[in-house]
Amino acid sequence: MVAGSLVVGLLPLSLSYALSSVVADIAWFLFRKQRAALADNYRLMLGGNPSGRCTASLTRSAFRHLARNTVDFFRFPHLSARAVEKMATVEGIEYLRQGIRSGKGGAIFVTGHIGNWELGGGVLASNGFPTNVVTESIAPAHSLFSKNRIAQLFLRYRTAVGMRVIALESAGPTSYRCLRRGHLLVLLGDRDISKTGIRVAMFGRDVMVPRGPAVLALRFGVPIFTGCLIRRRSGRYHGIVDPAIEFRPSGDFQKDVRELTELVTGRIEKYVRRFPDQWFVFERINAGEET
């Protein structure tokens, strides 16, 4: 990662992106399991019986987008807050400002593995929001590198663009404190990494997604906003922030968690349908689906 950051810092950005496309095409060919899982997810999204050419085109484009995201991630240590802010236009940011100022505490922002979610946290921070992101553990035990070493590098890169990082393992109590202080809590809502999620419908199929956003919102009475940061053809980014999800609790907590999670998932589904080749979930979303 350090070497990648040094190289990206020295090369013209256009050349870094061009090289990343070559690496992406090689990865697309080599990582067949991940490519197949992504193709399966696209088939679910598209419905019917899409051609192999269609899913191959989407998966290859997704690998290339993810490679460019990686280039941008390597640039984080070289970017000022002003530079991060200039990388994106943001539509609907006023909804988030109003939500934070509502006096109800903080707010929850849910996105998915779509667009550049890493940079998205930096863009929120550069716009003046005290941005706390919950992240999963980095690197398996058999990695060639120390798990702690890689985690520290990810931490340093994320904090370089203004994010405050909350480890998934301690997310509960730290998230509570974050919301009590009136901060913004950013969560990913399309993969159940902790394996404690809830089954809801996505693309008409039964999938497991995190329940955390709904649980926190209901317990603390804070709003949930959703959005994403998408790369445009020009190479610049466009952020989307949708209004807070309107939801009136029934008093049945488990029922409310499910229904609010369904609304959150519906928002993410909308983004994926709109920008399919910028969605990066490399495992089948309906694995273990109940029949």
Element (H, E) at 2: helix 2-10
Question: Is residue 17 in a domain?
Answer: yes
Which of 78, 98, 114 is at the close of a domain? 78
Mean pLDDT within 124-153: 73
Out of 51, 78, 105, a domain closes at 78
Number of domains observed in the structure of the chain: 2
Mean pLDDT is lowest, of 196-210, 245-259, 277-291, for 277-291
Q: Per-residue pLDDT tens for 223-255? A: 999 999 999 998 899 999 999 999 999 999 999
Quote the domain boundaries for residue 3.
Answer: 1-78
pLDDT tens-digit series, residues 92-137:
999 999 988 766 789 999 999 999 999 999 999 999 999 999 987 6
Q: Is residue 220 part of a domain?
A: yes
Pair 261, 213: CB distance under 8 Å: yes
Does some domain include residue 287?
no
The model's confidence at residue 34, banded by pLDDT at 50, 70 and 90, is very high
Q: Which tokens hold the place of 288?
A: 């273990």
- Mark whether 26 and 138 lie in a shared domain: no
pTM of the model: 0.91
Mean pLDDT of the chain: 91
Domain check: are 7 and 109 in the same one? Answer: no
Residues 124 and 42 grouped into a single domain: no
How much is the pLDDT for 290?
55
Helices (H), 87-227: 93-100, 117-126, 147-160, 171-180, 212-220
* Cα atoms in the 13 Å half-sphere on the side-chain side of 187: 32
Instruction: Examine the pLDDT at 53 and tell me if it is beyond 70.
Output: yes
Does residue 246 lie within any of the structural domains? yes
Q: Which of 47, 78, 109 corresponds to the end of one domain? A: 78
The total of other beta-carbon atoms located within 10 Å of residue 23's CB is 14
Q: Is 74 in the same domain as 98?
A: no
Q: Does residue 186 belong to any structural domain of this protein?
A: yes
Band (151; pLDDT cuts 50, 70, 90): confident
69 & 135 share domain: no
Q: Which two tokens stand for residue 222?
A: 């804070």
pLDDT at 40 over 70: yes
